[in-house]
Structure 1
Amino acid sequence: MNQPALVPTFTESLNPPHGGTLKELYLPFAAAQALKLRSASLPGWTLDARQLCDLELLLSGAFSPLEGFLNRRDYASVLDDMRLADGTLWPIPITLDVDEAFAAKLASGGEVALRDSEGVPLAVLKVEDIYFIDPLQEAHQVFGTTDRLHPGVAELLDHRHRVYLGGRVQGIQAPQHHDFAELRDTPRSLRARLAARGWNRVVAFQTRNPMHRAHRELTVRAAERTHAKLLIQPVVGLTKPGDVDHYTRVRCYKALLKHYPQDSVDLSLLPLAMRMGGPREALWHAIIRKNYGASHFIVGRDH
């Protein structure tokens, strides 16, 4: 019997998501409420700041085509080939590290409630794999160095656990943000706004720093050269230690908007935990912006 053809989720003129389908992982309201109640009886893991950023972008579809934290096969394939086990391009491992004592209580096929620092359940992980990793190997393959002077290496070697949990996640509710709520889009909501404005070619600009006049000229020329509109999408999750705080930076971005031609620019915030992973990270950022609808990406010196 013939199987029905798969129809892409998006038919508008915007760039399709990576893999063709936006993988939004939130359950419908009634199912989410039932899972929220059931999560109270599950083993619970309190997410740190980086894990919280990763979960938010998994749930919203910004990390499409991922449907959870990488299992052992996908993790090894990403390190070795910058691809998932099925061959899909993906350069940065998205993993959930836990301590050994917590991992010892779990088994493959079990479930873990993922909670924020206030104990609010945000999602449930279906445990597929529990595996130990070699952080030096990961550092060498992702960052090209094991030198702790690199902030990503220092984070991996000194602050991450050696046990990873892999598996799909089901979303209960989104993490709460009380700042700049009007600028915090999901891929779906940003795509809807861009499409409503009639934008079908969009060049996204990544930054973790305040923008200055040279950035303005760079972005204007990039938009002109690609015959595209401009999306300024700065990272407001975790960046490099010592960076200007995102509250200050966002006020700078907002002030700069009036210096662009009318109906040529939009601003949206990205709650990403950067790894400072060089070329791998630049490619990762391009994939994420593709999921938000961008057709082009400006690679800066932020990685």
Structure 2
Amino acid sequence: MVSKPHGGRLIDRTRVGKSLERLIEESKSMPKININDSRAYDILNIAYGVYSPLEGFLSYNDYESVIKNMRLENDLPWTIPIILDVDENDLKDIKEGDEVSLVYNNEILAVIRVEEIYSWDKKEYAYYIYKTTSREHPGVNKVYDMKNKLLAGPITLLKNIKEPYETVRLFPKDTRVLFDHLNIKSVAAFQTRNAPHLGHEYVMKAALTFVDGLFINPLLGWKKKGDFIDDVIVNSYRALLTNYFPKDSYVFSILRMEMKYAGPKEAIHHAIVRKNFGATHIIVGRDHAGVGNYYGPYDSWKIFEEFPDLGIMPLFIREAFYCKKCNAMANEKICPHSENDRVRISGTQIRNSIIKGERPPEYIMRPEVIDVILSYKNPFY
């Protein structure tokens, strides 16, 4: 049985028919605020239940509870605030109780009913969410560049966002139907932001030995310099899955969501999101959502001990390496050989090889995946 949505109910903040037509017309005369890519995709994720049980952007009480207690005010686990930052100049004609049009790419995307307008302390936010206040952390740097006021309230989506990968964009109501159709009752989600190497394949297949199917859900959207571009991620996974996974063993779907690089707290957030898609398990990397040396190597595993009520089971699968004596991918639990026989997979080394136009070794990355990556003149941000 796939997991129940977080909070027990899959949120739907969309409208159809006459109700939608009426709100679209009314939205034209409302005050307007322009939003960026990240906020636009947060709106989409709220509207289609990816962020269930949220119906809009966090209230002040929920915001404070999330950053300090890692839970919503009602005590439901939640670790990354979903907030709408606005400039004070945008608020000249807006007060609590108003309905406001949210404009993306010169079109009205959604309407928010403003329940609260409040200030936030960005340095405090950075300390609680990222465990650092340094601008050298890419997530913290982005927070400091956000606007000074936050709007809270439920949203209603008026239109979808055009998606270049529409054939592989699924929302929770879609994946739940698909898992049922494929008779997949236990589902392990795999979060990724990179093109796949054999270490990723090893981890996914290890998980697949314990569950009925995989939910492979690469994250597209803002990432840091040096990460793979969206096209490479999508097409390299298509190549891997088509050639090396049984056809009915997985569901593949992209997710538009900003990468925060918040380490352990983001690991919990990723788990909640995949729970809403129907996943019963989530594969958690050793340094899941980490960057630099800001988090301990197993912090993203330890944090799950604080959430016995999360409702999705973490799978802690050890980091894979290639063992020359085993002549296979392995991990420390199953390989008896010395470090001298182990080839650790380094994303930096893979990137450096690709930048030079060289092919990474086939014991590190599948040839079909390498072909996809090298077909792009510049496969990185």
1:138 to 105, 120, 125: 125
CA distance in 1, matches of 2:254, 2:5: 18
Structure 1 counterpart of 2:232, which letter? T
List 4+ stretches of structure 1 deviating above 4 A.
none
How many aligned residue pairs are there? 287
Within 5 A, what are the aligned runs for 1:15-54? 15-54=3-42
What is the aligned-residue identity percentage?
36
1:207 aligned partner: 192
CA contact (8 A) 2:188 2:211 kept: no
CA contact (8 A) 1:103 1:130 kept: no
1:124 to 107, 111, 116: 111
2:157 aligned partner: 171
Change in 2 beyond 3 A, CA 1:133/1:58: same
2:252 aligned partner: 267
CA distance in 1, matches of 2:255, 2:275: 13
Structure 1 position 229 matched with structure 2 position 213: yes
C-alpha deviations, 1:178-199, integer Å up to 9, x for none?
Answer: x121100111011111111111
C-alpha deviations, 1:143-172, integer Å up to 9, x for none?
Answer: 000011110000001x20010000011121
1:9 aligned partner: none
Please state whether the residue corresponding to 2:101 is helix, strand or coil.
strand
CA contact (8 A) 1:32 1:173 kept: no
Structure 1 position 247 matched with structure 2 position 231: yes
1:234 to partner: Cα distance: 0.4
2:135 aligned partner: 148
Structure 1 position 90 matched with structure 2 position 78: yes
1:57 to partner: Cα distance: 0.5
C-alpha deviations, 1:217-272, integer Å up to 9, x for none?
Answer: 11100121x33311110001222233110111110000000201342122111111
Structure 1 counterpart of 2:20, which letter? A
Please state whether the residue corresponding to 1:231 is helix, strand or coil.
strand
CA distance in 2, matches of 1:51, 1:202: 29
CA distance in 2, matches of 1:96, 1:103: 13
Structure 2 counterpart of 1:242, which letter? G
- Return the structure number with greater relative CO, CA threshold 8 A, min gap 6: 1
1:216 aligned partner: 201
Within 5 A, what are the aligned runs for 1:53-68? 53-68=41-56
TM-score, with structure 2 as normaliser: 0.74
1:161 aligned partner: 147
CA contact (8 A) 2:84 2:150 kept: yes
TM-score, with structure 1 as normaliser: 0.92
CA distance in 1, matches of 2:182, 2:35: 37
1:176 to partner: Cα distance: 1.6
Structure 2 unpaired stretches of 5+: 290-381
1:302 to partner: Cα distance: 4.6
CA distance in 2, matches of 1:33, 1:194: 33
2:267 aligned partner: 282
Larger mean Cα displacement after TM superposition, 271-280 or 233-242:
233-242
CA distance in 1, matches of 2:176, 2:254: 14
Structure 2 counterpart of 1:174, which letter? N
Larger Rg: 2
